[in-house]
Amino acid sequence: MAPLSFRERFDRYMRFKDVDRPPFYEFLGFWVETLNRWRGEGLPAGVDVYDYFGFDKREMFPMDYGPIPRFISRTIEEDDRYRVEVNDMGIVMRVLKTSTSMPTFIDFPVKSRSDWVKIRERFNPRDMRRYPKAWSLELIEYYRSTDRVVGLSMPGFFGQARYFMGLERLLVSFYRDPGLVHDIMNFWVDFLIEASRDIVENVKLDYVSIWEDMCYNRGPHISPKLFEEFMLPCYKKLTGFLRGKGIDIIMVDTDGNHEVLNDLLVEGGVNCLYPLEAAAGMDAVKLRERYGEKLLMIGNIDKRVIAVGGSALRREVERKITLTEEGGYIVSTDHAVSADISFHNYVEYIGIVKKWLKI
């Protein structure tokens, strides 16, 4: 078969059609600390890491789903190691100055229904500031004609509600104030649809990704019963809208173990999951056995094993990469590439993948 464009390859492969070779991506990218480490271990200075390893090209449509106007970012207090700050989402957090690791979240903007009414005013879906400054017929034509894969990422229902309320308050509110949680999620699905309407009607999109991060290593933060009541109707409404506009690949990005929610996600119109965190027990081989071509997958290569390297790495990759022969599975690390992975071991990992994919 003649070489395909990045976009043709992705589209055909994710529909289980013949391709010249499987797509080649590191889907969640790299920590800044990882690249800083690698510059001292052999990654040439000034060279883009994606170009260096020869990954297929993709880009995200730059849509702004955040509050407009933003909250004023400011530092509340700091010492030699930490800074307590309010970010532009209105979240108070404690940040380690020397790292981009996860901050400690202290407070969130929605503590009551009156707080919700106030913050909702910042989410006008038709505010043109949500679109890139280059929004024009010229930009629409660019996305129509580019050979790169083009995606659109949306904050999901649990994910956004957690941004509004914080994890603990959200989980308690499912029981103590379910009306507020329903209101937030129902508002959010309408907001996503109306904010995205001009994009999905005019821009050629290859997929939409919904960010949730609603699970930890032993299971989801939300029970299947609560998902079915609060989130499933929202998923059906959103995915129905997207498919009605010709977008067939709808992904959910969540860490942790989401095993007990997978059937509900599929029922809600989701047909791709990533990054399939191996440390949380997710297994692409078993998921393919259960769901077949109903579920596309990305990720699942255990980053802990890449850090070890050697025969353990080879066994990990070769067990899962066999799925690429069927289609619908993009081999990638099961999260952003972390700084405990040496440049040498990552080069070894990429070498195994490229040899298997015949790149």
What residue type is assigned to position 334 of the chain? D
d(CA 276, CA 253): 9
What would the pLDDT profile of 56-109 be if each residue is shown by its tens digit? 999 999 999 999 999 999 999 989 889 999 999 999 999 987 766 678 999 999
pLDDT band, residue 161 (cuts 50/70/90): very high
pLDDT of residue 14: 98
List the domains of the chain with CATH numbers.
6-67+109-357 (3.20.20.210), 72-108 (no CATH)
* pTM across the whole model: 0.95
Q: Supply the DSSP symbol for 88.
A: T
Cα separation, 223 vs 232, in Å, equals 12
Distance CA 332, CA 195 (A): 31
Q: Which of 183, 151, 135 is nearest to 60 (CA)?
A: 151
Q: Are 253 and 212 in contact (CB under 8 A)?
A: yes
pLDDT tens for each residue of 8-59:
999 999 999 999 999 999 999 999 999 999 999 999 999 999 999 999 999 9
The per-residue pLDDT for 102 is 77
How far, in Å, CA of 92 to CA of 335, rounded? 25
pLDDT at 198 over 80: yes
Residue 108, classed as helix, strand or coil, is: coil
Q: Indicate the helix (H) or strand (E) that contains 328.
A: none
What is the mean predicted confidence (pLDDT) over 206-218?
95
CA distance 43 to 110: 44
283-306 pLDDT, tens digit per residue, is 999 999 999 999 999 999 999 999
Looking at residue 97, its pLDDT comes to 79
Identify the pLDDT of residue 1.
85
**C-alpha angle with apex 301: 285 to 288, nearest 5 degrees?**
15
Mean pLDDT of 254-262: 97
- The rounded mean pLDDT for the chain is 96
What is the spatial distance between Cα 261 and Cα 252, in angstroms, rounded to a whole number? Answer: 11
